[in-house]
Amino acid sequence: MSVPSPVIIWCDVSFETDGSYQSMKDEFNEITTGTPKQDPDAMDVSILNEEMREFHSNNVPLVFVRTIDDATKKINEHINDKVFIICSGTIGRALVPIIAQKHLTVHDIYIYTHDFALHADWAMMYVQMIKMFDFHTSLLIRLTHDISKWHIEQGKSYLQLNDSISALKYFQQAHKLETAANKRGETDWNLPGTATRLHPTAFLTYLKQLEGEHGLIAQAENAIRARGLPVQNS
């Protein structure tokens, strides 16, 4: 059984114009590079390219769309999946209300903007749904941790259903993502002074849940061995 993955739907008007963000898409889809242009709220493409590699290597699919209509269509296509949305503040102003009204299963929306105050008027109405960031690395770290948390929750559900093989795959996937996110958090890019900066120990609790003699990975492995089956390493 392969591990089901959540889906990241990334909406940005620059994706289809004049090659903007093309290197990011190529890095994810073909592991190539390019020379994109950036708009005022564009993220640092050199960092994003590396992040796309990490998502790709950890089996987390990304869907790139340009318009709000395309974003809502993709959400409908993935109605049975765990959907994470990334968009700019400008797009979020229009897209978040649509999601709130029509796509009640989507609860994880990441807004990237250089100016929180510019979007305070509408964002305050959706504080339970959105997470706002003015620093791209903090956004990507938080996203990775949240995807990892989703895998842990799925693994626990399978463990309760006595499907320890599926549970182990979820836990192993979560461990890979946690390791990648914590490594990213230790870099110089995650500088002090950013309003949304995550404390480096904020998510160590997830690794503690997964690792160790009594951790979730060990629990799943022991349950598999108790059934006389071999343990598959990730």
pLDDT at 177 over 90: no
Q: In Å, what is the CA distance from 172 to each residue of 39, 116, 148? A: 37, 36, 10
CA distance 22 to 35: 8
pLDDT in tens, 123-160: 999 998 999 998 877 888 888 889 999 999 999 999 99
**Which pLDDT score is estimated for 19?**
46
Round to whole Å and give the CA distance between 172 and 155.
Answer: 9
pLDDT level of residue 2 (50, 70, 90 thresholds): very low
Name the β-bridge partners of 132.
Answer: 111
Domain regions of the chain by residue span: 7-134, 152-226
Question: Kind and range of the H or E element at 85?
Answer: strand 83-88
Q: Looking at residues 182-206, what average pLDDT do you find?
A: 55
Q: What is the DSSP letter of 15?
A: G
Report whether pLDDT(198) > 60.
no
Check residue 39 and give its pLDDT. 43
- Give the pLDDT confidence of 52-108 residue by residue, as tens digits: 666 766 667 788 888 899 999 999 988 888 999 999 898 999 999 999 998 777 879
